[in-house]
Amino acid sequence: MGKPKTTILNANHPNSRKTKQLIKTKHKIAFRDKKKYVNLAKPSLLCEKLIWFRDNIDNTIEQYTQDTLSSLIEKYLSRFDHEASIIKARHKDKGNRRFASREDVIRHTIEREREEYNTAGIEVPNILEASQLLYLRTWDGDIKYLPNIKIIRFRCLNLNH
């Protein structure tokens, strides 16, 4: 039969070596799981952005120029305007801040992406190349094909915004 395994619940003393060893392994597993979920979330955010671009590119254009890409990015940056105006109208009507957390998330996202676009450049699919544009149009949104899409950093063309 064998000796039963020691767990944190039935350890003799909270400062014993065995208890510290069990706590250390538990923390290690928790840290590893946390890292795994962070790494899984990053591609899904990029995937959502690429799906938005795939759904909003004009099918009549065969190759985007920098000006048309810039206007598409401006449309991307204003994607929350309708939802934000609805939330503001509800605040005006009732006076309470029922959707305050959603409003804050929208505001922070818009500010962060706008600053990124004006300074270092926002990450967008490279639809300036015709082959990449065609691939993005035919892409089904699967994360495993994400490395096939070239991502570029695109800065604001006119910096007087």
Q: Is 23 in contact with 13 (CB distance < 8 Å)?
A: no
Of 36, 7, 33, 37, which is closest to residue 22 (Cα–Cα)? 7
What pTM was computed for the model?
0.69
The predicted-structure confidence for 145-157, as pLDDT tens digits, reads as follows 888 999 999 998 7
Provide the pLDDT confidence category of residue 31 given band limits of 50, 70 and 90.
very high
pLDDT at 91: 77
What percent of the chain lies above the pLDDT cut of 90?
48
Q: Is 55 in contact with 41 (CB distance < 8 Å)?
A: no
Give the chain's domains with CATH numbers. Answer: 17-154 (1.20.1440.170)
The predicted-structure confidence for 53-94, as pLDDT tens digits, reads as follows 999 999 898 889 999 999 999 999 999 999 888 888 887 776
> DSSP secondary-structure letter at 143?
G
The residue with tokens 């994400």 is 146
Phi, psi angle pair for 121, to nearest 5°: 110, 140
